Amino acid sequence: MKLALVVSTSDAAFDALAFKGDLLKGVEMARRIGYDAVEIAVRDPKVVNVKELRGLLDELKMPVVAVGTGQAYLAEGLSITSEDPLVRRRALDRLKDHIDFASIFGAKVIVGLIRGKREKRAFESVLQLFIESLNELADHAAKKGVELVIEPLNRYETDFINTLQDAKLVLESLNRRNIGILADTFHMNIEEASIEESIRNFGAWIKHFHVADSNRWAPGSGHLNFDSILKALHEVDYAGYISVECLPLPGGQEEAATLAFKTLQNSLKKL
């Protein structure tokens, strides 16, 4: 298992100085600490200067393991289960742009908040829209050699797919090889009865993994047991990346990323 760091950037076009500055600083920091790769969030790949980004990452020899897409939902309200066909189409087209973008880096594409919310709608009708959308995206992703990962999120962020079991049911009815689950310890700590048991039960579906401690601070600052979490991942032969996605706490970005790295390395050594 290799370690990656989610590099946070301001939501701006790639050519905006703030985005480039944040990204460069984050990737350099990840490399300095010892991380093997980074994960980035991109609201709209069309505003990213891909050639320049690629050059920057190649120079630093840091692969991108996954691309987050939630900003498109948060900033623009794009959702692939929207009842409005125009919004749904824009969300699907945006995710196809994310897939094309990810294919350049060999990264996975995260389906998190962009799946939208159920709100007052019947579960079955939202599920049907989700499945239709995912089938279309899986076709596009297969042509590009990209994998999609559905991330169960806690109840305070969405009311649609909160647990690994929820995600597994969707994946079973889809029966596509290039879609899996992104499990995140922060959400699992709220929604799963046992993080370790759920990893053991749904291990075959887990294709990406996010870590933060119980308080969403760096691993090592809350009450999650990363020795037993990584042991469970090891037992199900998880061979992907463990991406640190935590608040810049304690002590700011560098201190948090360093503590996370040390905590995880320490647990990995015990395997």
Residues that bind Mn ion (CB under 5 A): 184, 210, 245
- The answer to the question of residue 244 lying near ligand LER (CB under 6 A) is no
Specify the stretch interacting with ligand LER by CB under 6 A; choose among 80-88, 116-124, 149-157, 222-230: 149-157
What residue type is assigned to position 133 of the chain? Answer: S
Q: Which two tokens stand for residue 248?
A: 């810049």
User: How crowded is residue 87: how many other Cβ atoms within 10 Å of its Cβ?
Assistant: 17
User: How crowded is residue 1: how many other Cβ atoms within 10 Å of its Cβ?
Assistant: 16
Q: Which of 194, 209, 203, 82 is nearest to 133 (CA)?
A: 82
Are the C-beta atoms of 231 and 261 separated by less than 8 Å? Answer: no
Active-site residue flag, 197: no
What does 227 bind: Mn ion, ligand LER, none (CB cut-off 5 to 8 Å by kind)? none
**Choosing from 151, 196, 197, 235, which is the catalytic residue?**
151
Are the C-beta atoms of 234 and 271 separated by less than 8 Å? Answer: yes
- The answer to the question of residue 147 lying near ligand LER (CB under 6 A) is no
Q: Name the one residue in this structure whose structure tokens are 């009311």.
A: 159
The Cα–Cα gap between 1 and 238 comes to 7
- The answer to the question of residue 157 lying near ligand LER (CB under 6 A) is yes
- The answer to the question of residue 245 lying near ligand LER (CB under 6 A) is yes
Task: Restricting to residues 169-208, name those near ligand LER by CB under 6 A.
Answer: 184
Residue 122 Cβ vs Mn ion, minimum distance, rounded to whole Å:
27
Active-site residue flag, 124: no
Q: Which burial class, exposed, middle or buried, applies to 271 when counting CB atoms under 10 A from its CB (0-12, 13-18, 19+)?
A: exposed
- The answer to the question of residue 132 lying near ligand LER (CB under 6 A) is no
What does 147 bind: Mn ion, ligand LER, none (CB cut-off 5 to 8 Å by kind)? none
Nearer to ligand LER, 100 or 151 (CB): 151
Q: Which of 28, 70, 63 is nearest to 241 (CA)?
A: 63
- The answer to the question of residue 213 lying near ligand LER (CB under 6 A) is no
- The answer to the question of residue 97 lying near ligand LER (CB under 6 A) is no
The Cα–Cα gap between 230 and 220 comes to 13
Specify the stretch interacting with ligand LER by CB under 6 A; choose among 132-140, 151-159, 170-178, 234-242: 151-159
- The answer to the question of residue 39 lying near ligand LER (CB under 6 A) is no
What does 41 bind: Mn ion, ligand LER, none (CB cut-off 5 to 8 Å by kind)? none
Is residue 34 left, alpha or beta, with left meaning phi > 0 and alpha meaning psi from -120 to 50? left
Q: Which of 243, 176, 173, 239 is nearest to 203 (CA)?
A: 239
- The answer to the question of residue 112 lying near ligand LER (CB under 6 A) is yes
Nearer to ligand LER, 156 or 175 (CB): 156
Nearer to ligand LER, 151 or 192 (CB): 151
CA terminus-to-terminus distance, the chain: 11
Chain positions contacting ligand LER, by CB under 6 A? 68, 70, 112-113, 151, 153, 157, 184, 210, 245
Enumerate the active-site residues.
Answer: 151, 245
